[in-house]
Structure formats: structure tokens, C-alpha cells
A and B are shown apart, each in its own frame.
Chain A
Amino acid sequence: DGGITQSPKYLFRKEGQNVTLSCEQNLNHDAMYWYRQDPGQGLRLIYYSQIVNDFQKGDIAEGYSVSREKKESFPLTVTSAQKNPTAFYLCASSIGDRVLYNEQFFGPGTRLTVL
């Protein structure tokens, strides 16, 4: 089945530790995205990548880092510099932002709790 996988579903970390969230897609999509969602809030864009080996900061990139070494994979690292890392993290992919009506497909998300 084609889709996006994120692992783990739940993640607990101690304050001050870096943590990497996994995102893999087999939809052959060029573009991938990371969003953060806090309770009662909308989705806020952290980073996005339109093509392999290239990525851009979104609205809230501070304290996060990404890599895009393979088309299928777009891991997100939450660093100790992120002040409030506890949130629901969603990864998405699409055929690309040059297409006006490009549906974004989301993974099931990772709930990160920093203790």
C-alpha cells in the first residue's frame, strides 16, 4: 500500500536531549513537509523540501533541523534549542507546490512529550 509512515507514534524524551522523528513515503512524491500541531491550534509549518538535497525553513524552524538525502525520507530532529518541544508532529508529502491543487497526504503523526 502506498502511503506515509511516521515512527514512533509516541515518544518520550528528557529535557535537553535531541530526538529524531522518522518520516518515510512510497508515493514517489517530490515534496515533503513537517508540521507541528499544539492543542486547539492549527498546523504550523516547520520545514519543507521540494526536492532531494534541498529544504527551506517554514514559519517555526528555530530549534529544528532536517535532511533530505533520499526522495523517500525526510527526518526531523528536535534539538535542545527548541523551547517547547512537546507537541503532535505531522509529516506530509505532495507532488509539489508548483501544482495549484496539490493534495497533501499526511502520516499518522508522532506525539512527542518532553519530560
Chain B
Amino acid sequence: RKEVEQDPGPFNVPEGATVAFNCTYSNSASQSFFWYRQDCRKEPKLLMSVYSSGNEDGRFTAQLNRASQYISLLIRDSKLSDSATYLCVVKQAGTALIFGKGTTLSVSS
């Protein structure tokens, strides 16, 4: 079983749509969680950290369910510029980040 699993997509949505990505992780010792964004042929960049209480940053909302070992990312009012691959990332104490394979989003006009 892979440590971090994501639906690869692609998710094809029109501008203005709401889209949700899900991610599951296998190691219950995971302690910190992130979503990174990677544009085509570019390096990944941190989109947001995911905290136990859930957190929001503008149009982006991240949720964590430790009991189900599940992380989600919700994007509201999608923009063309949101087209990218979204990487779910988890970390245990003292270890390097563990990346999922990513979910590809394509927003069209």
C-alpha cells in the first residue's frame, strides 16, 4: 500500500466551479500535512499547510480527518490560473516529506 494516495485525475472543470481533491495516508504516525502545487514542468511550491482544525486561505480550504487518515482540498470559484497538479504531502516527526503522485486540475473558460 502506498503511503500517500491521491486520485490522479485529471479533473476538468469550467471557470467558477468548485472542485475537491482527496488524499489518504497509510501511516497513523503522520503528524503534519500539506498541499503543494506544481505547474507543468516547474518545481512544487507550498500551497497551504493542513491543520487539525481545518484551515482556509481565500478560495482554498483544507481539512484533515486523523481518524480516517484523510486529507482534502476544496477550491471554490476556480480560475484558469488554478490549472496545475496538486500534491498531497505528509510527514512524520524527524523524517523528510512524503509526496503523493498528485492530482491534475484543468480549468477551462
Contacts and interface: CB of A to CB of B under 8 A. Distances in A.
A42 B96 contact: no
Nearest to A33: B96
A100 B43 contact: no
B31 A42 contact: no
Interface string B84-101: 000100010111110111
B42 A108 contact: yes
Contacts of B41: 88
Q: Chain A at the B interface: mostly helix, strand, loop or mixed?
A: loop
Contact of A42 (B49, B93, B99): B99
A11 interface: no
Contact of B101 (A42, A88, A106): A42
Contacts of A40: 8, 101
Contacts of B100: 42
A103 B42 contact: no
B32 A101 contact: yes
Contacts of A100: 31-32, 91, 93
Interface residues of A, number: 22
B46 interface: yes
B45 interface: yes
A107 B42 CA distance: 9
A28 B34 CA distance: 22
Contacts of B43: 90, 106-109
Contacts of B54: none
A98 to B, nearest CB: 6
A104 interface: yes
Contacts of A53: none
A43 B94 CA distance: 19
Contact of B96 (A90, A97, A101): A97
Contacts of B16: none
Contacts of A106: 43-45
Nearest to A41: B101
A97 B97 CA distance: 8
B95 A101 contact: no
A114 B49 CA distance: 36
Contact of B46 (A42, A43, A104, A109): A104
